[in-house]
Structure 1
Amino acid sequence: MDHDNSLLGTLWRHLEASGFQTAIQQHLPPGTDLQQGFQEFKLLAAKLGLEAYEAEVRGVPLCTAVGDEQNFPTLFRIHVGLRDVFTLEIPKELQGWAEQSMALGASSSDEFQKHLGRMATDSTLAAGERALARFALFELLCASLFFADYAERGQLAAFGVERCDLEALAQKNLTLWLQLPAEQAVEVRPLNIMLAGAMESLMVRGEIIQQQVLTWNVDMVAEAQQRKILERRLQEMNTPDALLIRNAVAGLGLLDEQYVTIETLQEQHSIVLGGTKRNTLDQRFKRIKVSIADGKWPKRKSKAIIDLALPQFPTEDEE
């Protein structure tokens, strides 16, 4: 593993250095083999690389591929799953590790993104490995924009900026970075460069929208305010609760999203909902509806990754 310079090998070494294996091993059943888990993770990465390369060959941008469950199921599942994990309550046994990793992550993050940049532009690499590195950069940029959106507390959604808009912005800046001469690209931290470009575009768009808001009528302003409040409340929920409520609200036509059955919701968000029985989800949804009817919107009871990344926003137990 020490001499494995693949993307997965590098990531595994970063996890080892962060103490992840030690932290999680203490809470797994005796005899659990993390190395076996790593091998399964490598198989998943191979599927991701192949699908990312297929999208590249077919001329399908990643921002489109990650939303195409039928043709790119692995890209779809991982993209959705990563987004879901950011607002998922961290198990208590891993909170200490997560806090320490976030505090120490800046320097290792720089090294990792530079490594990704080299792999994403290395013409000597296998096509699947190179495509996997590009997908990883895309996801890191999407995550950064997700955090920026969260920090706005629903304001972007109120202005009509949807998740697909942020994904398209990530794609645009990834494409621009990949067009740099290879020798120039490897000398910079790619994520920092792409994020700076994306945030600049987002600021310009925000300024344009703010000018348009001046022409809105009372009903449009009220609708935007309601959307902002809804997004803020969804942001504060544990992921399973937020998914159930967001889907229900979409079913009422209050969101520009497609309502799906609970079974489909489980399939689409398999990382956080896949192992839950349908009856359990039904009961959970009923409890949430009763709570909301009483004026008590559910909130996370413990920290999620997003709370560690943006500690200025308190969780329920800190308010």
Structure 2
Amino acid sequence: MRLIRHFKYATSSILGVVGLLTLSGNLLADDGYHAQYANRFEVLPAISPIPANNSLTESKIELGKMLFFEPRISGSGVISCATCHNPALGWTDRIPRATGHAAQVGERNTPTVLNSGFFAAQFWDGRAADLEAQALGPIEADIEMNMSLDDAITRLKGFKEYQDAFARAYGGDGEKQITPNNVAHAMASFQRTLNTPNSPFDRYLQGDLAALTDQQKRGMALFADSGCNACHSGPAMTDSYFHVIKVPGSTDLGRFLVTKNEADKHAFKTPTLRNVAVTYPYFNNGGTATLEEAVQVMGKEMLGREYKKNQVADIVAFLHSLTGEMPHIEIPALP
């Protein structure tokens, strides 16, 4: 009987390998692009880096999700993080510039929070180094959620459900655990789960040569040969660094407002290209409506070249291949 089981296992394994080779023959031969270009890019992992001071736990993630969707930590009681970072809209708002407290319109476009755990700087101007440092800023900003941290903490402490949730996440007396630091860490933990792996491009990088169309492969090659991935690099396709760019219609001083360094005037963090097809409009002021326009702006301003119509179409097709699997979450029932 043992021999039979071993034979069945061996036969099954051989047939599995043969089936893989037969069904995925596209894995076995180069398509004229993969060998030359695949090593210039990185696959997006399913999990972003986790800092040593903020372990990723289920209870912390669930608490962070509640806080992300909680409008009562805003001055009006109707604005939450999810108001601008809408799961149905690529975790952004798809309007040129964010609208916040009392219908105030901000100076900048809402960046997506998808894959933000891979960024080495947060916000367009990089004023926060990581998600923990970023989390509380929108709550306090008068043009966004417009609430002091003291008031936000007091409001959360008024709900036994939050006291229990903080106790589960951090232990001890739940009410005492409702602190700005713990709020920031929980929200950062939740955002680290909002990743979009397994895009057609990721599957291509891992060897599935049929995952991209011929046009997308041409666009990938042109993207790389143009030097675009000098800045749009790493797993999230951003170097998280700051570059001066003349965006149409923008007078924003960008990184300069943080550093006061003249060289940083009009410099902005390289935006991620992951899911870029669903996170329009584009650039810091949201003044560019389509990918076609955005590609031409980048070609002119950053590369000093003007792409032909067919080249733009190829690059845009490639950018569409960067749309990954969206995170599936259940909107939390709030207290």
Does TM, scored on the shorter chain, surpass 0.5?
Answer: no
TM-score (norm 2): 0.24
Higher helix share: 1
TM-score (norm 1): 0.25
